[in-house]
Amino acid sequence: MMSSKTSPTPRTLTPEQDDAVTRLYNYDHTILVAPTGAGKTVIALTGIHQLIADHHLHKVIVAAPAKVIEKMIWLDEMCKWQHLRGMRAIQLEGNSQQRIKTLLANEAEIVLVSLNNLDWLLKQDHECDGIVIDELSKAAGKWTKGLKSKKLCERLIWRCGMTATPVSQSYEKLFSLARIIDGGLALGTNKQAYLNAYFDSDYMGYNLTLKGFADAQIMSKVASLVHLVTDNKVKVLPELREWVIKFDMPAKTREIYNEMKKHMVVEDRESPNQAVKSGVLRQIASGFYYRDGESQKSDPVRLDTARADAALYWAKGLKGEPGIVFYEFVQQLVQLEELPDNILRAQIQSMSHGIDGLQNTYDSVCFLQPPWSRDQQEQSIGRVWRTGQTKPVTVTTLICNDTLDELVMARVEDRAKWMVLFKQHLEEN
């Protein structure tokens, strides 16, 4: 299935993109690290095109988050570039019978599938000999929780993983990314052995911290696996300005917040129980909460409008100029009804993929609260701070004093530092 969009005037790849394509052509295993807007999709498609044209590969899977597949981002990209127009691609959607029908009815060089259906495809189609995993960090998270794809995809001779933030959650997570792509060649196959070698922990085995020079040692091992697309944005784009607006929680809400806080310890969000409880604390700090936790099936209990008031304060400061507010919870959209019409309301989970053209209108964005995911934060900012932007971009984050907001913000900042160190080590190697 191909997109119906017509092809515009042919474009050419940048030297940085050409270098990345050469890497994909010459190496069987690659983690492609590139910032939002750097053209990861066309890089991967061009690499696949050349490998298939020279008979090094026969059929390649492209596995991506469901939202990326639904928006036909990869199909549309194929139509934008003249050299890719002859490639045959199918997109697997619907139930298993519908997906089987599509597989049998079409001869394709590229098979597009959501990460949720990758297990199924790997069991059905044994003709594939290559795979591109879009949003590798998300895939690794799924596989560490029991998906079988990690083992199944290792039979594919050519494997590429794409991500903007490979160490957004710490060097601990880098093990899973490398294991998926190279089968354990760089960092081994035993995660516990990896942790013991490079991390110290408390007596319970938690609160991992890198040993001295461990980051450099890890980078030396993965340097041959990772290709870094040079980020020239800071050279060619306007200034990126980051601000924080802090506000206080009303007294009655504070009582509820403190009572909830007594019954929990927020240290590890990856624990299911901790995730639910920390989600409730974040809701309370936003002036509401759902009785059934994060499921959001019940009617919310409304507490205050302090965060919405802070957003309105930010919006008034724009003096009628366009801006974007990124929110997390559905209830927050209701709270933002008082914002003026010049403000675009966008749920961060849906706006971090495949939204183009925003840079032509917007140069001010506001995060209603700091996002847990560094990936989502960078991708959201990248919707406006990218090629075509002519104005300085201002990013504002709203922080409720003495709440989980501060912890989340600190973690986001730490992850940003990890990315800087990661890139430095790669460039040195």
d(CA 276, CA 270): 10
| pLDDT surpasses 50 at 5 | no
User: Taking all residues of the chain, what is their mean pLDDT, rounded to a whole number?
Assistant: 82
Question: Kind and range of the H or E element at 160?
Answer: strand 158-163
Residues 6+ apart with CB under 8 A from 185: 29, 225
Domain segments of the chain as ranges: 15-231, 235-425
According to the model, what pLDDT value does residue 345 have?
A: 92
Residues 6+ apart with CB under 8 A from 163: 31, 32, 33, 135, 136, 137, 177, 375
Residues 6+ apart with CB under 8 A from 273: none
State the pTM of this model. Answer: 0.68
Q: Do domains 15-231 and 235-425 have the same CATH topology?
A: yes
**CA dihedral angle for residue 408, residue 63, residue 82, residue 386, rounded to 10 degrees:** 0
Which class for 54: exposed (0-12), middle (13-18), buried (19 or more C-beta within 10 A)? exposed
With a pLDDT cut of 70, the percent of the chain lying above it is 81
Q: Read off the tokens for 387.
A: 């090629």
Q: What is the pLDDT of residues 229-277, one digit of tens each?
A: 875 544 577 888 999 999 999 999 999 998 888 766 444 444 445 566 7
CA angle 7, 11, 14 (to 5 degrees): 145
Please, which pLDDT band fits residue 426 given cuts at 50, 70 and 90? low
**CA dihedral angle for residue 376, residue 378, residue 381, residue 387, rounded to 10 degrees:** -130
CATH superfamily, region 235-425: P-loop containing nucleotide triphosphate hydrolases (3.40.50.300)
The CATH architecture to which 15-231 belongs is 3-Layer(aba) Sandwich (3.40)
Q: What is the pLDDT of residues 209-220, one digit of tens each?
A: 888 888 888 888
Going from the C-alpha of 153 to that of each of 114, 130, 172, the distances in angstroms are: 14, 9, 22
d(CA 89, CA 79): 11
d(CA 44, CA 30): 11
Q: What is the pLDDT of residues 53-87, one digit of tens each?
A: 999 999 999 999 888 888 888 998 898 898 998 89
Q: What is the DSSP string of 86-126?
A: T--EEE--SSHHHHHHHHHH---SEEEEEGGGHHHHHHH--
> Residue-wise over 10-23: b if at least 16 C-beta within 10 A, else e?
eeebbebbeebbeb
According to the model, what pLDDT value does residue 272 have?
A: 45
Radius of gyration of the chain (CA): 22
Q: Read off the tokens for 80.
A: 């934008």
Q: What is the DSSP string of 349-389?
A: HHHTSS--SGGGT--EEEESS--S-HHHHHHHHTTTSSTT-
Residue whose structure tokens are 């890497």: 23
